[in-house]
Structure 1
């Protein structure tokens, strides 16, 4: 099994383990069914502590294919340290000093919460931060690969773009937390980019196009975005197909919409892709987004 496959399997197993039990009895048994466990196996199992058993002293880690970092900003963090929330229990890392980014005013207010490189550390983080549905307006979570700053100017982002969807807040407050969790799991599990799983061997696995994912809260809507390191050029059909495949996976497997469903409406958008360079253009110069 390749390291990519192992990482995807670890994320899939953790999702299954993190789901609440169904209607059957404890440990998945039907009423009246007896669980048969060998004594030595049971003793071994008891010595294993995952993040689900002990959020602070777990001793088993499943490494991810890539290390990640969570960043955060909101009106409450501007010009000050993080507020005293469960999030602040994690050590913070100083903002990397990339000259073109450090000069941007808004980057002075963004806070790196923590970096992680295992499934267990992800769940430990997720279980101790505020959910998107509880964030104040104008707050943002940025989950980016370690070493990449969540800004257009970063070397990994400057030639890329983003898939995004905007959802009315009143109709989606009850499900935005699950949509964001699914987005993060797809990112750290490296399932967004189909070229990774279609590679014939570990040596032929291409570089992932995904650099990070973002959830933003605004007074009337939520926005979820998937950032890529490349964007299709006018005659780059292969890259366009790869980018479109990411968008379809985002719409169907992550957000759970049928591919043919139209989503636009008041305060809502389709799942749309636009390069960062085109996002800066206005009026007639701006290109139409790719829509799936």
Structure 2
């Protein structure tokens, strides 16, 4: 694949997007582009017929397939209003993508975390996995939780998205997705994995997140199995119908 040509095209598209978003951070843009260049996968280890056919179509079209197809979801609750529907029914699919080009188009048009109201959740999950504790891929797993001041959460979320979509985190097959929870006083990033009882995978994921996000030592990470979240009456989802 001609990554130089692809990178040049992405760089041109990004300049247009940056003009629209008044984002002049060219150094970070270059980091994003460099990360995108490593997102491709030859699919040799993927035996799923549908995924292979999709990748073949993308390659034929001159696109650059990602290892996984991803879906972005959105959840929003109006403070003080009692919800009449379940949390699951309020999770809305925004978009899906399976190529570098598709990712870039989606990401450039997403609202930035700083502009989102509280409380809001953004979910980035592998295709076929819903951002619910009860999903078959999640039910035996858990999540690493990191709390950020609102002024810096957007940058850490972007770095996490790039690491996840680019399959840069250790034990990537054990990862289900990630969530950005916009709250009133802080924002919360969480990375979900499949198996809470696999201590080695859980701790390796923690170290990988720290490394890719370049987290200062002062940041505390907490791991919470999903079955504990189900029992937590104070959790955001469990208070959904109470408003």
TM-score (norm 2): 0.67
- Alignment partner for residue 177 of structure 1, among 124, 144, 154? 154
CA distance 1:60–1:242, change in 2 (3 Å): same
Partner of 2:169: 192
CA contact under 8 A between 2:163 and 2:212: conserved in structure 1? no
Partner of 1:277: 227
Partner of 2:201: 242
- Alignment partner for residue 107 of structure 1, among 88, 91, 94? 88
2:135 aligned counterpart, secondary structure: coil
| Bigger Rg, which one | 1
Structure 2 residues without counterparts, runs of 5 or longer: 15-24, 29-60, 234-243
User: Aligned residue pairs: how many?
Assistant: 181
Q: How do residues 2-81 of structure 1 correspond to structure 2 at under 5 angstroms?
A: 20=26, 60-75=62-77
Query: How far off its partner does 1:179 sit?
Result: 0.9
CA distance in 2, matches of 1:176, 1:167: 6
Partner of 1:226: 191
Higher relative contact order (CA 8 A, sep 6+): 2
TM-score (norm 1): 0.56
Runs of 4+ off more than 4 Å: 16-19
Q: How do residues 128-277 of structure 1 correspond to structure 2 at under 5 angstroms?
A: 128-169=109-150, 173=151, 175-193=152-170, 195=171, 208-232=173-197, 239-254=198-213, 256-258=214-216, 261-263=217-219, 270-277=220-227
Structure 1 residues without counterparts, runs of 5 or longer: 1-5, 23-58, 80-103, 197-207, 233-238, 264-269, 284-292
